[in-house]
Structure 1
Amino acid sequence: MEQRVAELREQRRRKYFVRGLAFAVASGVCYGLYTGFLTLAQTQGVWGSWFAGLEWGEGQAALSAFVVTFALAALAAGLNDLISGVWSVAVCAKNRQVGDLWKTVKTKPGRIMMLCAAIGGPFATIAYVVALNSAAAAGNPGVIVPIAALNCAIGAVLGRIFFKQSLGVHKVVGIAVCLLAAALIGGASFAAMGPGAFMGCLFAFLAAFGWGFEGCVAGFGTILIDYRIGIAIRQVTAGLLELFVVFPLLMAIGGGFDALFAVFGAAVTSPAMPFFLISGLFAMPAFSFWYKGNSMCGTALGMACNGMYAFWGPFFIWVLMGLCNIGGMAADYPPLSAVQWIGALIMVAGIFCIAVNPAELLRSNKKKG
């Protein structure tokens, strides 16, 4: 009888673990889809005129290079994150958690999550959008996604520096593998796309740094927050900061403050909005499934599975904008080169090595066998 009870308990544990892995893998897939639709949105309607340096409305001159590069990135990031926040609040409402959401905002973990949003939104997400747009202008935005996936390696290093977390041999090896993969992807990008790829790779690295730091803070202070509530706080806070603080500030710095409301109005009424609605929809599970998966299968495996967006991001950008030709992009939209795909897969291996000690995993499998 006791043996049967133990067997049933082990079966339940394994099912729970497998569900956690499924959530973590799904988070990486959703991150790739969110990246693909966000990139696609910025090719539609008035966005195309803005990035082409054309007049975009009656009496509206072309936007300055600074506004196009930075202010529009803040606008795109803000639209995506705020829409994602609205989707997240809707999920909380469906689960009757709106009251808990409001109470959590007033607590210390809630404030820490808002701090995470300030780091991961106005800094990291905007840097990520700048990287995508810069790489798109140079030839292919997919090349920067694996570099942004360095956030796992950077988070491990920052966790050691700020929170004295252990940094074992397997993590050091994984970090080295990730850096090697980033160099491989970056080198291939410069060879194939020219010096215009440098800005994309640089801002992708800044995004990785911001998300790595956010991961340290979030992991240290938000363990008590339900993952649905946590993502709602993060996305709403990030979206509000990006749209109503950073976007106007960057417009003013770039000399386009007079056109602030016109640009915002043109963006929210353009044909790009359905794609922003979809990107925001996928951004919600991209983060919330990551939190959920980590809680079910452990942060290590959850981080490794989520880090597979180093592959899924470039894949879905190519599928949406090239293979499926959604939005009227050229049917021969270039996929990553063989070297860049290899670099992305090496990055995934490095992330897995950081998250999981291969030697312990082999020992564990031998014991089970």
Structure 2
Amino acid sequence: MTEARKKFKAIGISTGLVSGLMYGLYTTFVLIAGYYKPLAGAVGLFAAPYVTSGLNDLFAGLWLTAYNVKTGRIREIGRSISLFPGKIILIGSLVGGPIASGAYLMGLAMAGAYAIPISAMYILFGALFARIFLKQKIVPRVGIGMVICVVGAIVINWVKPEGSTNFTLGIICAFVAAIGWALEGVFAAYGSAMLDTDVVINIRQLLSGIVDLFVILPIAGGMGLLKGTLFSLPPVMWLAVAGFCAAVSYLCWYKSNSTVGCAMGMSLNITYAFWGVLFCILFLKQPVTPTIIIGSIIIILGAVLVSVDPFELLMKKEEVNNEI
């Protein structure tokens, strides 16, 4: 039983870390897509972010649908929606998709890579909501690791970049994304505990993409931009790749939340703040500043503390030495 629990925990930790890496890639590919016309230079605060968010989530949903068809789970989508946990997932999908993801991409458009680690502060709200609604306890080690991660996010955003006129508004949007994702994490942890996570995230991505493109976008006056983007090959290709990365990221995140708990799953997923900034530096020529480097290192240290007990590692090392 002890070995089975350790294996179960190891799966949750590894999937949580993979979710962070893939979300960092998703963020980078979405920003690359925004460099191409007609997304580049699009007029309006909401149009471009919601075209990008909607197409990305729709592509992610289609990737996941193909995956569930291959694995024989596709029939579970309708059954899951009819159940009470499935309805909870629908609520979480609306909060985490159109609200949080849309706000995140608006933050990226206005504040650049600096919005990435600010949105990672969702672990604080997630831990609070998990404690209130799911009665999940936070052990001191995990709590300290979470605080360290947040400190790293603050350090990264300590210095305002030059030439960013809407930087503050972008940071506010990232903050809204943090609250939305925290709520989604709680809903996902509840629903995923009783439903297949592969089916749950399929529902999430499809619903988010449909609401973004066919409910919010017409209100924002962005249907013309959507049509122009669909007929432009480069941004569509990048968004399709971004959708694949998002699909893998959410699959791993939901799996991690359901195996090691909402607080730890979120804390592992927060490493996307490091990967996102790193990839932006490598591929998008994001200026390298001391605050970005120091803050990213702090985030990694916090995530390691959340996922690994240092005393447990030391005890294992002593056992190995004794055996030798």
Shorter-normalised TM-score: what interval?
A: 0.7 to 0.9
Residue 72 of structure 1 and its aligned partner are, at CA, apart by: 1.9
C-alpha separation in 2, matches of 1:103 and 1:220: 17
Does residue 210 (structure 1) correspond to residue 180 (structure 2)? The answer is yes
Q: 1:265-290: CA deviations, max 9, x gaps?
A: 10111131000100001100101012
State the percentage of identical aligned residues.
30
Unaligned runs of 5+ in 2: 320-324
Counterpart pick for 1:334 among 277, 286, 307: 286
Structure 1 residue 340: deviation in Å? 1.5
Measure how far apart 1:307 and its partner are.
1.7
Residues 1:154 and 2:119 aligned together: no
Are residues 1:273 and 2:236 paired? yes
Q: Distance in 2 between matches of 1:14 and 1:107?
A: 31
The one-letter code matched in structure 2 to 1:43 is: Y
Q: Does 1:230 align with 2:206?
A: no
Q: 1:269 corresponds to which letter in structure 2?
A: F
| 2:211 counterpart residue number | 241
SS at 1:97's partner residue?
A: coil
**Alignment of 1:345 onto 2:297:** yes
Q: Secondary structure at the match of 1:98?
A: coil
Supply the distance in 1 between the matched residues of 2:114 and 2:70 (Cα, whole angstroms).
38
SS in 2 for 1:47: coil
Following TM superposition, by how much is the alpha carbon of 1:98 offset from its aligned partner in structure 2, in angstroms?
1.1
Larger Rg: 1
Quick one: structure 1 residues 296 and 176, their matched pair in 2 at CA, closer, same or farther if it must change by over 3 Å?
closer
Amino acid paired to 1:130: M
- After TM superposition, the structure 1 = structure 2 runs for residues 289-308 of structure 1, keeping only pairs within 5 Å, are 289-296=252-259, 301-308=264-271
Q: Is it true that 1:262 corresponds to 2:224 in the alignment?
A: yes
Q: 1:182 to 1:26 in 2, by over 3 A?
A: closer
Report Cα offsets for 1:54-99 as digits up to 9, x if no partner. Answer: xxxxxxxxx3xxx2x2122112111110110111111000001111
Indicate which of 283, 308, 313 corresponds to 2:246: 283
Distance 1:223 1:336, change over 3 A: farther
The CA RMSD measured in Å over matched residues stands at 2.6
Partner residue in 2 for 1:83: 59
Q: Which residue of the partner structure matches residue 170 of structure 2?
A: 200
1:171 deviation in Å?
A: 5.4
Task: Output aligned runs, 1:1-369, within 5 Å.
Answer: 10=3, 17-50=9-42, 63=43, 67=44, 69-135=45-111, 141-167=112-138, 169-170=140-141, 173-174=144-145, 176-188=147-159, 190=160, 192=162, 196-251=166-221, 260-270=222-232, 271-296=234-259, 301-321=264-284, 333-351=285-303, 355=306, 361-365=309-313, 367-368=315-316, 369=319
Write the distance in 2 (CA, Å) between the matches of 1:248 and 1:175. Answer: 39
The one-letter code of the counterpart of 1:133 is A
Tell me which residue corresponds to 2:322.
none
Q: Report the alpha carbon displacement of residue 156 of structure 1 after superposing the two structures with TM.
A: 0.9
Judged with a 3 Å threshold, the aligned counterparts in structure 2 of structure 1 residues 346 and 367 are, in CA distance, closer, same or farther, namely closer
> In structure 1, what is the Cα distance between the partners aligned to 2:185 and 2:139?
19
C-alpha deviation, 1:195, in angstroms: 5.2
TM-score, normalized by length of structure 2?
0.87
- The CA distance in 2 between the partners of 1:33 and 1:172, in whole Å, is 27
Displacement, 1:342? 1.2
